[in-house]
């Protein structure tokens, strides 16, 4: 269908040949490409659609997988499976990063490695697959590339911040406090360092490409240390 080897390789990897070539190209086109030619030329509208389909597919999968788990146990798992960092990892696994269309400045700024761009492109791809082949095709992509992520929520069902807060309150501590203690890197690719603390407990720190990611990593480190020692 296309002479572009990156597009051909991506379609081979995801197991779907697009009938509508423009849908595939649009899903891979960041808003910076072509000096921001408008939202009908980039993947923002497809990302909006794909985000909703991803939520549906994830809710469906969790409903089937955890038949005896109440809603309160499903919600944090869903949040873990649809968050930006998860979608970014899937984008890398699927090879979406190699086929992205970015502006030269975004390319130089490491756009192919940014969680925000990768995550949005992954959701846009889901939207494009849905429009090109229906829910069955979108579900095939989800089932293929969310396997590893699903295993993680089976083993670690709760968000690290939720797990830490529940443990802290059960032990008689106050709610954990999160403080940004460092930020580095350029504005387009920042790195955050966050410290989480509980009164009377040695704090832990976490790093991440966003404040939220750094907080989760810090919470996970403190929770693991305290529960392993306990």
**Is-catalytic flag, 204?**
no
Structural domains of the chain, ranges and CATH numbers in brackets: 5-155 (1.10.1520.10), 160-229 (3.30.160.20)
List C-alpha distances in Å: 227 to 46, 75, 94, 224. Answer: 42, 23, 35, 5
pLDDT tens, residue by residue, 117-173 = 999 999 999 999 999 999 999 999 999 999 999 988 886 556 788 888 888 888 888
Report how far residue 72's alpha carbon sits from residue 158's, in angstroms, rounded to the nearest whole number: 10
Model-level pTM? 0.70
pLDDT in tens, 23-40: 999 999 999 987 555 556
The single residue of 47, 97, 106, 123 carrying the catalytic annotation is 123
Told to judge if 123 belongs to the known catalytic residues of this protein, a careful annotator would answer yes
Of 47, 51, 159, 195, which is the active-site residue? 51
What digits encode the pLDDT tens for the residues 209-229?
A: 899 999 999 998 998 888 876
Cα dist. 159→16, 17, 83 in Å?
A: 33, 36, 11
């Amino acid at each position: 269908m296309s002479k572009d080897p990156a597009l051909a390789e991506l379609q081979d990897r995801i197991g779907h040949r697009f009938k509508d070539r423009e849908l595939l190209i649009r899903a891979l086109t960041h808003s910076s490409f072509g000096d921001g030619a408008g939202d009908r030329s980039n993947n923002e509208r497809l990302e909006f659609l794909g985000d909703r389909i991803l939520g549906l597919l994830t809710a469906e999968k969790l409903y089937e997988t955890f038949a005896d788990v109440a809603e309160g146990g499903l919600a944090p798992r869903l949040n873990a499976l649809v968050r930006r960092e998860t979608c970014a990892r899937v984008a890398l696994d699927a090879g979406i990063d190699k086929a992205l269309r970015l502006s030269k400045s975004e390319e130089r700024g490491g756009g192919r490695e940014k969680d925000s761009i990768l995550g949005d492109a992954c959701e846009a791809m889901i939207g494009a697959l849905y429009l090109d082949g229906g829910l069955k095709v979108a579900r095939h992509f989800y089932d293929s590339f969310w396997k590893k992520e699903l295993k993680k929520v089976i083993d670690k069902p709760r968000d690290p911040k939720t797990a830490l807060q529940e443990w802290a309150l059960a032990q008689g501590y106050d709610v954990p406090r999160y403080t940004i203690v460092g930020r580095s890197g350029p504005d387009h690719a920042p790195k955050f360092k966050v410290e989480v603390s509980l009164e009377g407990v040695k704090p832990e720190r976490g790093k991440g490409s966003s404040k939220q990611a750094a907080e989760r990593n810090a919470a996970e480190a403190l929770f693991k240390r305290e529960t392993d020692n306990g």
